[in-house]
Chain A
């Protein structure tokens, strides 16, 4: 959740870049509502039926704290036309992009030509 907190704290920087942040997990509706309350400027997806994680194939089977399936940490940049511009998958679940690194990626990959 540190990652989402950093993204939330930088929401104005994302807005300046005409970019929204969508946070996706396989949490159910209740947990997702709590996440939305904690990070009100993020769009929170409650993908408990795995429709999005299966479409993107980012499910990390059995990798949860109690052996449950979770989404593998992954960051995808999509432009205004719905076209993928880059995908980042850390080599460890402990690694995350900082908000400033995400903003740099937005600047380099999604900048208007």
Chain B
């Protein structure tokens, strides 16, 4: 018991520091798991929120005991979480303002399929419905 007290007093706020670091990295880890393991594609809004909470805990740990390592952790994880906020905002897409409207014919076009053949709006008519998915392409 005395040893525990000694350790705690020697490293005040250490548990806050560890929890803060854990929260700061939890968001990106969760995002990777959702995206590649569960194949769930949602904006990772939770990542910078968890990260901000983590940085707050790291700052609390710094206030308990100031050391170069804790200052370093505050700087590194603040930058890390700042990047997460920036990335989240950069992922926003503009609202759609184009000519496609429910109940209206699809706009006229003539483009090319992967096999080089021509594809036009006339080929949207026939015996099949169409789900047209615009994607960002090869990354």
Whether A108 is near chain B, meaning CB under 8 Å from some CB there, is: no
Q: Chain B, interface size: which category?
A: 35 or more
Known contacts being A47-B111, A73-B135, A84-B104, is A79 close to B129, with CB within 8 Å? yes
Among listed B13-21, B33-41, B53-61, B75-83, interface-contacting one:
B33-41
A76 to B131, CA, bound (A): 6
Residues of chain A within 8 A (CB-CB) of B97 are 57
The reply to whether B40 and A98 contact each other, CB–CB distance below 8 Å, is yes
> CB-defined interface of A29-66 with B at 8 Å, one 1/0 digit per residue?
10111111000000111111101110111101001110
The reply to whether A4 and B135 contact each other, CB–CB distance below 8 Å, is yes
Known contacts being A47-B111, A56-B99, is A110 close to B129, with CB within 8 Å? yes
Residues of chain B within 8 A (CB-CB) of A110 are 129
Residues of chain B within 8 A (CB-CB) of A29 are 112, 114, 116
The reply to whether B136 and A93 contact each other, CB–CB distance below 8 Å, is yes
Known contacts being A29-B116, A95-B42, is A74 close to B134, with CB within 8 Å? yes
Whether B1 is near chain A, meaning CB under 8 Å from some CB there, is: no
The residue from A56, A71, A86, A90 contacting B137, defined by CB atoms under 8 A apart? A71
The reply to whether B129 and A31 contact each other, CB–CB distance below 8 Å, is no
Residues of chain B within 8 A (CB-CB) of A73 are 93, 134-136
Residues of chain B within 8 A (CB-CB) of A81 are 125
Residues of chain A within 8 A (CB-CB) of B42 are 94-95
The reply to whether B135 and A3 contact each other, CB–CB distance below 8 Å, is yes
Whether B3 is near chain A, meaning CB under 8 Å from some CB there, is: no
Residues of chain A within 8 A (CB-CB) of B6 are none
Residues of chain A within 8 A (CB-CB) of B113 are 32, 43-46
Q: Which of A1-17 contact B (CB under 8 A)?
A: 1-7, 14, 17
List B residues at the A interface (Cβ < 8 Å). Answer: 35-36, 39-44, 88, 91-116, 119, 121-122, 124-139
List A residues at the B interface (Cβ < 8 Å). Answer: 1-7, 14, 17-27, 29, 31-36, 43-49, 51-53, 55-58, 60, 63-65, 70-87, 89-96, 98, 102, 106, 110
The contact sample of 12 A-B pairs, CB cut-off 8 A, is A3-B135, A4-B133, A6-B39, A7-B131, A19-B131, A29-B112, A35-B138, A36-B114, A47-B112, A75-B133, A78-B130, A89-B96
